Structure 1
Amino acid sequence: MSLEIDKSLLIIILDVNPMQKLVKQVLTHGLDSTIVFANAHLMQTSNNQLAIMACHSQGAKFLYPLEKITDVRQFDGQYEKFTQLECTVRQQIHKIISDLATKKSCSDESLISGALTMALSYVARQEREKFAGEKLHARILVITASHDSATQYMNYMNVFFTAQKMGVMLDVCSLDHELTLLQQGCDLTGGTFLKIPQQNGLAGLLQYLLWVFLPDPIVRSKLVLPPPVKVDYRAACFCHQELVDTGFVCSVCLSIFCKFSPICTTCHTVFKNPAPIPMKIKKKKKTVDLVH
């Protein structure tokens, strides 16, 4: 009787956008904590797998593993795989920051939805390439200090429901902002959203990563973790990119608008003007003359 081999795949997405408010701390404390956290995941069991990505305003890129592995000098007393991971990630981060410094156009909006799409594609490829008798448990962790972006609303929704269908859990570690859309993704996929307190900056980031995000989903139910946040499920309108309580929905592409538009800006469908709401005529009270 063959036994199933459980493999845990962790994909870490690190936001390295230079326009972030805490970019210096992200590239120092944040990067160091991420590397230690990644090594801790690999150290749990030999079957664990890891992938690290970096995203910014121009795109997203895999930092580890790479197709071409460069030879690095091993430090005395350090495990080979840990040395390879640390040197590769730091070299790739240095290249990305250098390339972004040469580009004049840089936005404070990070393409996290694009990085999530690449991560799900990587999970799908690993599912196809696994051997018989292997069972892959994949999850994604996003570490970011950027603000929420409603312009990527449709991309986020597609990613969230795809991850939910694939059984991939999404965790988010926010370093600076309350991210409404990513909170929805965590709630839909059964993941955890955590905003790091800023009393001591990012000095305690590693403690939160090891405490909240290192345990597997099965183990988390037995731990005392921070209480879940109240998720705001309002949708963002496509015209002003703001969260709305009520709005107009295109019947063709399901785009959302806060005000009526005769032409859908997404699929260019033409709609008729809505008929005016009929006014209800109040009935006059009948007066009854009393006969004495």
Structure 2
Amino acid sequence: MDKTDEDESNKFSLLAIVLDTNPSQRIVRQNPQLLTQFLDAIIAFGNAHLMQCSQNKLAVLSCHHHATDFLYPMPGKQLDIRQVDGQYEVFSLVEKTVKQRLSHIITNAPKVNAPCESLLAGSMAMALCYISRIQRSAAAGVKMHSRILVVTGSNECASQYMTYMNVFFTAQKLGITVDVCALDKTMSLLQQGCDITGGQYLRLTQLDGLLQYLLWVFLPDPQMRQKLVLPPATKVDYRAACFCHRELIDIGYVCSVCLSIFCKFSPICTTCQAKPRISKIQNRLSAKCNPA
């Protein structure tokens, strides 16, 4: 074995896919069959990632309106899957486990009458915890490259702003890339996370080609993407969300003690209950992206 083969044997990639399975998504409400198509595309994409290297690892998380659950690997005892029609055992295990777990989650999910927001920020935080655990259990001298792919059709939720920012900067510190595939509307907060961590953000206009876009844009490692012709990056909306109404703002007031941001002036900070000097600021990050 030469030095190159030895170096490759000490490397593997961990891909954590956060799939938004919330039935409140507009595209799912209009066509419930799309959820099945999305799931098939995610399974094929995950198997393609495992096929790239025998040491690669995969995790699939289901983001619902009430909780986050692992679809793969299955917590506890794994399913006993045998080879079917010459298919690789691991591929069969991924497909059967993901479909069985998702069916169980949807069946036992609490019923809601009104649309509920997806817990995307919490799901991404759980993916970070899983990546950290796998990293700690890796053998000495083994290098692990980790990334998170978020596939969602939900709307933007500014109420999870702080959790989003904690996840993004934690991922940046750990060297974990965050990619986002938006299936409906543009999501500025997730777009910020991709820019912070060096990931790829893509908003699909044609849902029929989901698997093709996943294989083209998100299957290559971040190091290889520099050599590929990918969709051009769009301007990132770096507006912050106020702590009072959780809405994105251009100009606001910042607390000099805890740095909380408010859209209206208040003599007492509702976050730290202090009476600091609250000054009016303009979002510099927004001005940086839009110098005009």
TM-score above 0.5: yes
Residue 121 of structure 1: CA displacement?
Answer: 0.8
Q: Is the 8 A contact 1:108 1:146 kept in 2?
A: no
Residue 105 of structure 1: CA displacement?
Answer: 6.2
Q: Is the 8 A contact 2:146 2:176 kept in 1?
A: yes
- Aligned residue for 2:208, secondary structure, equals coil
Partner AA of 1:204 in structure 2: G
Does residue 185 of structure 2 align to residue 177 of structure 1? yes
Partner AA of 1:138 in structure 2: S
Partner AA of 1:246 in structure 2: I
Q: Is the 8 A contact 1:140 1:170 kept in 2?
A: yes
Residue 96 of structure 1: CA displacement?
Answer: 1.2
Residue 219 of structure 1: CA displacement?
Answer: 1.1
Residue 252 of structure 1: CA displacement?
Answer: 2.6
**What is the 5 A alignment of 1:16-31?**
16-23=21-28, 24-31=32-39
Q: Percent identity?
A: 59
Partner AA of 2:157 in structure 1: S
Task: Find the aligned partners of 2:112 and 2:247 in 1 and give their Cα distance.
Answer: 28
Match of 1:84 among 79, 93, 101: 93
Q: Point out the more displaced range, 145-154 or 70-79.
A: 70-79
TM-score, length of structure 1 as denominator length:
0.88
Task: Find the aligned partners of 2:34 and 2:122 in 1 and give their Cα distance.
Answer: 20
- Aligned residue for 2:44, secondary structure, equals helix
- 1:72 maps to which residue? 81
Q: Is the 8 A contact 1:180 1:231 kept in 2?
A: yes
Residue 103 of structure 1: CA displacement?
Answer: 2.7
Q: Point out the more displaced range, 261-270 or 139-148.
A: 261-270
Q: Is the 8 A contact 1:58 1:106 kept in 2?
A: no
Bigger Rg, structure 1 or 2: 1
Q: 1:162-183 CA distances to partner (integer Å, 9 max, x unpaired)?
A: 0000000000000001000000
- 2:165 maps to which residue? 157
Partner AA of 1:129 in structure 2: S
Does residue 209 of structure 2 align to residue 204 of structure 1? yes
Q: 1:59-104 CA distances to partner (integer Å, 9 max, x unpaired)?
A: 211111123102235422211111111000001111111122x433
Count matched residues.
270
- 1:264 maps to which residue? 269
Residue 243 of structure 1: CA displacement?
Answer: 1.3
Q: CA RMSD in A?
A: 1.8
Q: 1:272 to 1:77 in 2, by over 3 A?
A: closer
Does residue 87 of structure 2 align to residue 52 of structure 1? no
**What is the 5 A alignment of 1:266-285?**
266-271=271-276
- Aligned residue for 1:203, secondary structure, equals helix
Q: 1:249 to 1:105 in 2, by over 3 A?
A: farther
Partner AA of 1:94 in structure 2: S
Q: Point out the more displaced range, 257-266 or 135-144.
A: 257-266
TM-score, length of structure 2 as denominator length:
0.88
- Aligned residue for 1:138, secondary structure, equals strand
Name stretches of at least 5 consecutive residues in structure 2 with no aligned partner: 280-292
Does residue 106 of structure 2 align to residue 97 of structure 1? yes
Q: Point out the more displaced range, 246-255 or 217-226.
A: 246-255
Name stretches of at least 5 consecutive residues in structure 1 with no aligned partner: 275-292
Q: Is the 8 A contact 2:256 2:278 kept in 1?
A: no
Q: 1:131-159 CA distances to partner (integer Å, 9 max, x unpaired)?
A: 01200000000000001110011111111
Q: Is the 8 A contact 1:30 1:205 kept in 2?
A: yes
- 1:116 maps to which residue? 124
- Aligned residue for 1:126, secondary structure, equals helix
